[in-house]
Amino acid sequence: MIQSVDRALRVLAVLQGARRRSLGEIATALELAPSTVHGIVRTLLAHGMVVQERDSGLYRLGPATLRLGNVYLDNLELRAHAQPWISELADRTGCAVRVAVPLGDDVVVVAAAPTPVEVGIVIPAHACALGKVLLAHGACVLPDRPRRMTGETVLSPRDPGIVRRTGLATEVEEAVLGECGLAAPVATADEVCGAIALVVPAADWPLPPTALAALHQTARAISRELGASTWPPQREEDAATA
């Protein structure tokens, strides 16, 4: 591992989580000397990865990170295949639709309808239906100490075998109060690469069977375009117990 690169990426991760921080706060979060962090931050400033606010002097992520994110999205095969389907699914069900991919112990939304402004949001995997699907298939990892997002956050995930067999995971106000979700896996020929979810206000929960069927149909259709031969995707141990 190249130490300087590792430290630069850790600075970006700190700013991603806190939005705006002083040099001292970044140094404390990384357990590094302020002089060391100053050199890293100055380099990131020169490349537009970080900007410094004139009034407060605080640092935040810069526009270059957005350009990198857009390049990532443009080259993401799942997003390209999902995009034509999600508007139709939103129209059929009257629900918001999100598509996400794994990011360690989080998920990141890469496509959404009818409000694409949700693209880029990061949600702890254990607290959302999207993440529970990915956790069940081993695409995300459960942190050692899962944190509560609301008083309803379930810290012990449901039996992953049930999620894999049914092709469904749910959340009820676990990530955001007043918001519920239902998610299904999306797979390639080799692996589960993401998940697609219907998201509704708590007042509209639970969803009707027609919405569940529409979600299944859409997840299956996207997976087939990505090369999956069966859906929902199964592991050998699931087939053995079926």
CATH number at residue 37: 1.10.10.10
Give the separation between CA 110 and CA 78, rounded to whole angstroms.
9
Pairing of strands 106-113, 96-103: antiparallel
Higher pLDDT, 2 or 158: 2
What pLDDT, on the 0 to 100 scale, is given for residue 178?
A: 97
Domains of the chain: total: 2
Average pLDDT over residues 214-219: 97
* Closest to 36 (Cα-Cα) out of 62, 58, 3, 65: 3
Q: Which domain holds residue 56?
A: 3-66
Give the separation between CA 102 and CA 191, rounded to whole angstroms.
12
Q: Which residue has the tokens 């979700």?
A: 181
Indicate if 131 and 214 belong to the same structural domain: yes
Average pLDDT over residues 61-86: 79
**165-179 burial code (b ≥16 CB/10 A, e <16):** eebbbbbebbbbeeb
Q: What is the pTM of this model?
A: 0.76
pLDDT digits (tens, 9 = 90+) for 40-67: 999 999 988 899 998 899 999 888 886 6
**143 in a domain, yes or no?**
yes
The domain boundary residue, chosen from 16, 45, 66: 66
Indicate if 130 and 54 belong to the same structural domain: no
CA 219 to chain centre: 17
Give the separation between CA 197 and CA 3, rounded to whole angstroms.
38
CB neighbourhood size of 146 (10 A): 17
